[in-house]
Structure formats: C-alpha cells, structure tokens
Chains A and B, each alone.
Chain A
Amino acid sequence: MHMKRFFLLVFLIMGLLLSSVAQENEKRNSFSLLWGPGTLARQDMIFSPFVHSAHSLFNAGLAYTRQAGMFQQIQIRYSGYAPMLTEPYEFLVYDEVKTAQPHLFTFIDLDYLLGKTVKSMDRSRVTVGGLLTSDIQALNYVYGRLGYFGYYAALGLGGFIQLDHRIGEKNRVGTSLQFPLISWSARSPYLVNDDEFIENIASHSGVKTFLSFLQDGKPETWDHLQYFDLRVYYRYLINQRWQLGVAYLLEFIHFSNPRNLISFKNTLTISATLKF
C-alpha cells in the first residue's frame, strides 16, 4: 500500500513537471554517448566485512538533453566490476581442480532531471531542479565453489544543481550535484538470504523476482540512506552540431539498513554529443 502511494506521488509530480515542459516552445536537443574507465571501492557488510575494489573499462552511458526554457535530461549508465580480495586461484573439490573467480557487480543508473536556469549571466548559468533517479545493482558474490545473488535498488526523488561556465567561444566547464532526498529502497536481507528472499525468487522469473524485491522495499530518508552523484565536466564545441567532453563522476552511497554499505564509484568518461 505504501509503495502504491509512493509511486502515485512520483507519477503525479512527474506529470506536473512534464506538463510544464510541454508549454516550452524553443527546442534545443542533444544526444550524448559516454564511455570511460572507472574505479569502485565498496564495502557491503551483508556479504563481507572487506572493501571490494576494482577497476573497469566497462562504464558507458547514453544521455538525452533538452535545453529550452526548461532543462531536461534523461541519462542511463551501465558499469560492471569484478573485484576479488586476491587474484583468482585454483582449489580442488575431491581432487577436481576448480577456479575461485572474482565477484561480479553490475550497476545500472537511470536519471531524469528537470530544472530551470535560475541565474544566467554573460558566460555562466546556474540550473536547479528536480531529480527522479533509479539505481539498480545486481551483485553476484562468489565464494569459491559457491555463488550468491544480492541486490540493491533505490528509486529516489530529490534535486540537482548545475553550474556551467563558458570559457571563450568553444570551451565550457561545469559541475553538477544530484542528491535524492527520499527513496524507495530495496536491498538483500541481513544475511544474504532469508525466507522472504526465497519467496521472492520462487517465481523463477527474472522480472517477477525483480518486482518482488522492489515490493519488499521501503521508503528511506537521509537518516538511513545517503547517496549523491557529483560530476565535474569540460566540453569542447567542435561546431554547432558536435561537441566532445570529458567528465569526472563520483557516485557515493551510504546505507545503514539492514547492515552498513559504503560505496564510492569514480568514473572518468569521454563523451561525444550531437546537438539537434
């Protein structure tokens, strides 16, 4: 029941915001491809007391931005990391050689930003607005011959602020901060699995299982769940249609329920943007 109310509220807010956008006349759209290396440092006490660190080249994303009277952006990002406390090693099960493999984490982020430039000067502008974000993490923990699935999902509502500064005719630098304030969050139980978890996977359907996990979530505010994305970027305008960029993104999560989770993900992306 709480979940239904939550989503009703989300859709109501989104509807109001979108209807205001529809009134805008000027259209300035862009589509961006992002890719780059990243590092992860993640300590999830549900699964391990150790910090799992890894580097990855598999950080990619797509972004659609519409900058008219209102600022709108939809961005989806994917990344995969394979941390392990040691190097993979061989062990034996009844003299049969097996290999201990790294854990495998998959992250998918989907953000929708809707805002307005509240201060604009000759070379700079400040944009603020609302944020709807979903952060989905599929966690495959591997303990030698055993493997366990874990999950983290947070659907959040919050705000963002973006500062953008033009340097000369072709260069821009800026920073943005996205900060969900309330979230619907779902996470693996205290000790990896319990009866509720097993009930959720009993459908043997990926979609139903995912929805069951989400349904078992609950609203969280900043006292239990703190997460934000901080981005610093540089963009170079090749011409009126094309733009290249480089950005640094820090994604931080601290969640204390049911056990402590701290996660830092640092990504350096290059981007190519087509304006239309």
Chain B
Amino acid sequence: MRKTLPFILITSVSISFPGCESLFREQPATDPEAIFEDMWTTFYEEYAPFEERNVDWEAQYESFRPMIDDGTTDDELFDILSQMLATLDDGHVSLTAPGRNVFFSNRIRQYRIDDELFDLSVVRDRYLDSGYREGDQQSYLYGKVRNRDIGYIFFDYVGPNFSALNDFLDEYSLMEGFIIDLRHNQGGDFTYCFSEIGRLTAEKRFVFRSKTKNGKEADDYTDWHEWHIEPAGNFVDKPLVVLTDRYTISAGERSVMALITLPSVTTVGDTTSGAHGTMIGRELANGWFYSLVPQKVELFDGNSYEGIGLAPDIFVKNQLDELLGGTDRVLETAIEALL
C-alpha cells in the first residue's frame, strides 16, 4: 500500500519532544527572586487559615520581598523565607533544604520549647505494672497503672497503631477508668482514631467540620464537610482522661476533638499545638520543599481553634527536675482525676 509507509513516516517524525515541551505551563524560575515569588504566591492562593492566625500575607510581601535580589545567597534566602514563614507560627508549615535542619514555622517546634517535659520511659518504668504491651518503635504503649484499677494507653501517632485500643479495652475491661495519653502525638491519619473509638460512644456525635481550598481566589473552598464518630462494638462506659501537651498536633488534635465530644472525658495537661487543617507539600525550583495548610476547621462548638489549640480542662505541666526524678505530674493528676 503506497499510502501506508508515508503515514508511518509522518507520524514518526511528528513525535518530536521539543514540540511537546511547548504544551507545558511555564515553570517558576530558579533565581532567588523567582523562588520567593513562587512561594509567596502559592501561600497567597493555597493557604487557608491566614485569618485565624491573624496574618496579613500581603504585608509580609512588603516586608520580606525587598530583602531579596539576584545576589541573594542560598543561606540568605533560606533565612528570609524562614522568617516569613515564622509569622504564621503554624505547626504544619515547614521549609526543607539540603544540608540544613528543617525550619518549623511554629516557634515551639522550632526551638523545642518544653520538648523534654514528656518521657514515655518514665510512664512505663515508674507507673505501669510489668505486664504492659508496646508497639513497634513505641507506636503505642498500654498497661495497668500500678496499684490502681486504671488502664493507661499511649499513642505516638494516629495510624494503624490505634487498633491497639480495642485490645486494650478488652484486656482491661474491669478497670474503673482509662487514661488515653496523646502527649507528643505526632499526628497522622485521624480516620484511624475515628474508626477505633466507636466503643467509647453510645451515640453518633458531631466532632468538627472542615472545608478545603479548591481555587486560587480567597473564597474558593469546597462545601463544609462534617465529621462524626459513631458507635461500634461493645460500648465501654467508663471515665476517661485524655492527656495533651504543646506537641499534640494535627490528627492528634483531631483525635482530642473526637474524644472531648464524650461526656465521660476530662482533658489534662497543656494546650495542644493548634494545627488542625490538613497539610500538603510543595516544592521549589531549586529542589527545596515546604508545606502549607489548605483547609479551615471548626470544632463542634462552631469555633476555630487553629493557631490557638485545644485547652485542657485541668492545666498542669511537668517540671523537668521532677520528671528527671521519675515523677510525671501530668499523669499523676490524671490518676487523681479518676479516683
């Protein structure tokens, strides 16, 4: 067929990559000014809780943009971008670059303020009976509090480790109360918590609602989406104390939100981080990474605690010297609250 070969040749020749490249959208450039513009604009279009955190992002542009020119070094650029992100004081916002420590926008996380006021080994070695159980890499720890009919369970993050809750409730079904320790909880996927705490509620309970950016304009959001917890399995009707601290963050905080819908719950410890919206990652032309929050969250009471955190019913902080001596004052307060 005379027409076949020319067709094959034409289609082959037409497949040329330089031509294909022109279909791509223009990419941000790699110079310092372009990198600043890219990051600032992405936050402007995609970051949700400016209002909750009382940050005027356009004012930040006016403050920081003049600091950058063609001659700005990587070190200077990292410092300037970090300073700009610091104005958000957001536990979900960070900046990653080669050979450097990750910069965390949240002051407490960046400077590790009071980070040393929680020590799981003190709980395990000083407060639990010897029959405790531990997950891989301490993803969870549970056991019976010494000399008390109280069950204790700790979760390091929110994920598949939450399935230990069911075993814990079965194993310590005769206890008079339970302590759920979410101090230093790193977050994760809150749906693991929501699906595992069904035994703790006798009725469906509204926890929070959220909406996510779905466009570049300030008012471009999805509809509000309501999240609930629902009864599942054998109902456990016992007093509960939930422990929190300044490092309880993200899905850890959403877990606290779910637990405080329960009438049997008392929270003890310190206020949580206040980073409630979902987090996404982004990359810059020079290979650096950063993260931001495209979501607003409102608790069941109709208020946003983004940037504020969830305050405990009983505020108490550990003292370093006491903790080093083996006393966890927060845990002891929780035990007293259950007696």
Instruction: State yes or no: do A and B come from one complex.
Output: yes
A residues lining the B interface (CB < 8 Å): 41, 43, 45, 48-51, 84-86, 89-95, 100, 121, 123-124, 126, 141-148, 163-165, 173-175, 177, 189-196, 198-199, 201-202, 204, 230, 232, 248, 250, 252, 254, 258, 260, 262, 264, 266
Chain A to chain B contacts (Cβ below 8 Å), 28 pairs:
A49-B25, A49-B27, A50-B27, A50-B285, A89-B287, A91-B96, A92-B100, A92-B101, A93-B101, A100-B287, A123-B1, A126-B1, A143-B96, A143-B282, A146-B289, A148-B281, A165-B1, A175-B12, A190-B214, A193-B212, A194-B225, A195-B222, A198-B191, A202-B195, A204-B191, A232-B12, A254-B23, A266-B17
Instruction: Say yes or no: A85-B191 contact (C-beta < 8 A), given A146-B289, A194-B295, A196-B225.
Output: no
Q: Which 6 A-B pairs have the closest CB atoms?
A: A143-B281, A124-B1, A86-B287, A195-B225, A144-B96, A194-B212
The answer to whether A45 touches B1 (Cβ under 8 A) is no
What residues of chain B lie closer than 8 Å to A266, measured between beta carbons? 15, 17
Q: How far is the CA of A252 from the CA of B289 in the complex (A)?
A: 28
Q: Find residues 278-297 in chain B having any chain A CB closer than 8 Å to their own CB.
A: 278-283, 285-287, 289-291, 294-295
What residues of chain B lie closer than 8 Å to A250, measured between beta carbons? 15
Closest Cβ neighbor of A198 among chain B residues: B191
Closest Cβ neighbor of B293 among chain A residues: A191
Closest Cβ neighbor of B284 among chain A residues: A85
What residues of chain B lie closer than 8 Å to A142, measured between beta carbons? 281
The answer to whether A163 touches B20 (Cβ under 8 A) is no
Q: Find residues 181-231 in chain B having any chain A CB closer than 8 Å to their own CB.
A: 189, 191-192, 194-195, 210-215, 222, 225, 227
**B63 contacts chain A at the CB level, 8 A cutoff:** no
The answer to whether A232 touches B11 (Cβ under 8 A) is yes
The answer to whether A202 touches B8 (Cβ under 8 A) is no
CB distance from B135 to the nearest CB of A (A): 17
Instruction: Say yes or no: A92-B102 contact (C-beta < 8 A), given A49-B25, A49-B27, A51-B27.
Output: yes
CB distance from B129 to the nearest CB of A (A): 31
The answer to whether B17 touches A41 (Cβ under 8 A) is yes
Closest Cβ neighbor of B209 among chain A residues: A195
The answer to whether B24 touches A190 (Cβ under 8 A) is no
The answer to whether B189 touches A201 (Cβ under 8 A) is yes
The answer to whether B101 touches A163 (Cβ under 8 A) is no
Q: How far is the CA of A141 from the CA of B281 in the complex (A)?
A: 8
What residues of chain A lie closer than 8 Å to B100, measured between beta carbons? 91-92
The answer to whether B191 touches A230 (Cβ under 8 A) is no
Total residue contacts A-B, CB cutoff 8 A: 166
CB distance from B29 to the nearest CB of A (A): 11
Q: How far is the CA of A145 from the CA of B94 in the complex (A)?
A: 10
B residues lining the A interface (CB < 8 Å): 1, 4-5, 7-8, 11-12, 15, 17, 20-21, 23-25, 27-28, 38, 46, 94, 96-102, 112, 160, 189, 191-192, 194-195, 210-215, 222, 225, 227, 278-283, 285-287, 289-291, 294-295
CB distance from B158 to the nearest CB of A (A): 12
The answer to whether B96 touches A202 (Cβ under 8 A) is no
The answer to whether B214 touches A191 (Cβ under 8 A) is yes
Q: How far is the CA of A192 from the CA of B291 in the complex (A)?
A: 12
Instruction: Say yes or no: A201-B283 contact (C-beta < 8 A), given A43-B24, A191-B46, A191-B213.
Output: no
What residues of chain B lie closer than 8 Å to A92, measured between beta carbons? 99-102
The answer to whether B222 touches A194 (Cβ under 8 A) is yes
Instruction: Say yes or no: A100-B96 contact (C-beta < 8 A), given A50-B27, A121-B1, A143-B281.
Output: yes
**Residue of B112, B211, B281 ringed by the most chain A CB atoms within 10 A:** B281
CB distance from A192 to the nearest CB of B (A): 4
Closest Cβ neighbor of A122 among chain B residues: B1
Instruction: Say yes or no: A198-B96 contact (C-beta < 8 A), given A43-B25, A45-B25.
Output: no
The answer to whether A192 touches B27 (Cβ under 8 A) is no
**Residue of B191, B192, B211 ringed by the most chain A CB atoms within 10 A:** B191
Q: How far is the CA of A163 from the CA of B9 in the complex (A)?
A: 12
**Residue of B97, B212, B227, B279 ringed by the most chain A CB atoms within 10 A:** B212
Closest Cβ neighbor of B15 among chain A residues: A250
The answer to whether A95 touches B101 (Cβ under 8 A) is yes
What residues of chain A lie closer than 8 Å to B194, measured between beta carbons? 202
